[in-house]
Structure 1
Amino acid sequence: MSCEAGKPPSGSGRTVEAARENLRNNKNDEIEGTFCHALFEDRVFDEALLVPLIADIECVLGQDAVSPEDRRLAHWVMMGTLRCLFSHFDANDLYKIENLDAEVYGRWSGDYFERFRALMSR
């Protein structure tokens, strides 16, 4: 997906500014209703919040000229998500994602992780 400042990408209804704001809100994991709050604080992998978050990361990182601040913001959100997953599978870590069953993990490893991996190289 690509976004233009002030203009939503075709069919998305989102602007790059709105996408950037969603990333900022996720970085402040105390803001309820965000994927990062659900994952970090409530220990819930909320796919309904993750899917638009990934689209917003793609929007922000898909710009012709990505600012270092935007890149750091997107990478912070992705790394925080990855840390939670690593912690979940670490037998010595008490952090566990309550709803990460085989079906949800299958979608994570089969789709979401690959999208994160591609975005991390941008």
Structure 2
Amino acid sequence: MLRRWLPAGVLLLTGIVLTFAAGPVPLIVLAALAVAFSPLAFPRSIPAAEAQRRSAADGKPIVYWRPGCPFCLRLRATLGLRAHRAHWVDIWRDPEGAAAVRAVADGNETVPTVILAGEPLVNPDPRRIRAAL
């Protein structure tokens, strides 16, 4: 649980420390980045088994991600409001999700990994996913 919030916590703590030297601007900027890199910036994660069941029923893609991943953040930002049209699985919360990613990424936990129409895409171009949604 702690490692999910570690990137956001480090950014926030750095902002607090810099506030003493440079005023409130670093705190404001780093607090905004902390929110962006926290789990709060992503749709609610569900377990991999649930995501697979739902995807089979509704055809929506599955996005495997983890907090603090800049590539996941880029995908999330590119999708915008369309992000809710996919099922999101946090691989740090769900060991089954991490195993699913390792199975398609040569044993690595490379994220984002998207399962789109049954095809696994490891670190895909966000514009391709956006167009598919």
Structure 1 length as normaliser, TM-score? Answer: 0.29
Report the structure, 1 or 2, having the larger strand content: 2
- Structure with larger Rg: 2
Structure 2 length as normaliser, TM-score? Answer: 0.28
